[in-house]
Amino acid sequence: MSPPGMSPPGRRRRRATALGLCTEGLYRVSGNKTDQDNIQKQFDQDHNINLVSMEVTVNAVAGALKAFFADLPDPLIPYSLHPELLETSKLLDKTERLNALKEIVKKFHPVNYEVFKYVITHLNRVSRQNKTNLMTADNLSICFWPTLMRPDFENREFLSTTKIHQSVVETFIQQCQFFFHNGEIVETTNPVAPQPPSLNPGQMAEPMVPLQLPPPLQPQLIQPQLQADPLGII
């Protein structure tokens, strides 16, 4: 029997979402490059592509999503606001710092704001499954901050602040409810984070992630009997 308002297809989509969010090393372990490129090509032609029929892995879908943001003409977090984010991150008082960050986000172009809200909300959901997928807010921010901010890694001055920029994205993920959903500031701790899985030979790695890790699971194929929302972003 379906819950009120939840059709059987809705239940299948919810199950598919759970499977995707729990994929070990989500956004850290790269999928097949050919599959990723094919997803991007198909998406450019039809935004309502059927991922199940394509028989691709969750990792390939995750890689295609990251590539989409990396290929945008301008980064999702505007260059013009990077200096403000950097200065705000230096504030010692947590409440003052978070309120200041919230005001900076309001300066985003409306489209950037809505998409950023969408992405950060998704990453927050991924991080809540970190006991299974090993992707804490810290690990996700390492994978995503270069994609969202598009830094100039040839600039030595910028290289000295990379950890600060990464911590800003981590804060957005951790405090997602406060920034975007009228929630309260949550208390965060800094336990030893679970390490994302190691990579098989030939797999691409994100920069700056330690690799003293257990063997990875095989990339997970999207289940053919499920509706295609493997990453839980809709």
Looking at the fold, whether 82 and 142 belong to one and the same domain comes out as: yes
Looking at the fold, whether 131 and 162 belong to one and the same domain comes out as: yes
Looking at the fold, whether 107 and 175 belong to one and the same domain comes out as: yes
CA distance 169 to 140: 9
> Which amino acid is present at 209?
V
- What's the rounded mean pLDDT across residues 52-62? 88
Q: How many CB atoms lie within 10 A of CB 203?
A: 17
* H helical segments located in 109-136: 110-127, 130-133
Q: Does the pTM of the predicted model rise above 0.85?
A: no
> Which amino acid is present at 191?
P
Looking at the fold, whether 114 and 138 belong to one and the same domain comes out as: yes
Answer with the one of 26, 41, 64 that is the final residue of a domain: 64
- What's the rounded mean pLDDT across residues 41-51? 87
Domain of 166 in residue numbering reads as 72-186
CB proximity list for 186: less than 8 A, separation 6 or greater: 174, 175, 177, 178
Domain count, the chain: 2
**Which among 57, 79, 89, 47 is positioned nearest to 175, based on CA atoms?**
89
CA distance 98 to 185: 8
User: Given a cut of 60, is residue 12 above it in pLDDT?
Assistant: no
User: Given a cut of 50, is residue 89 above it in pLDDT?
Assistant: yes
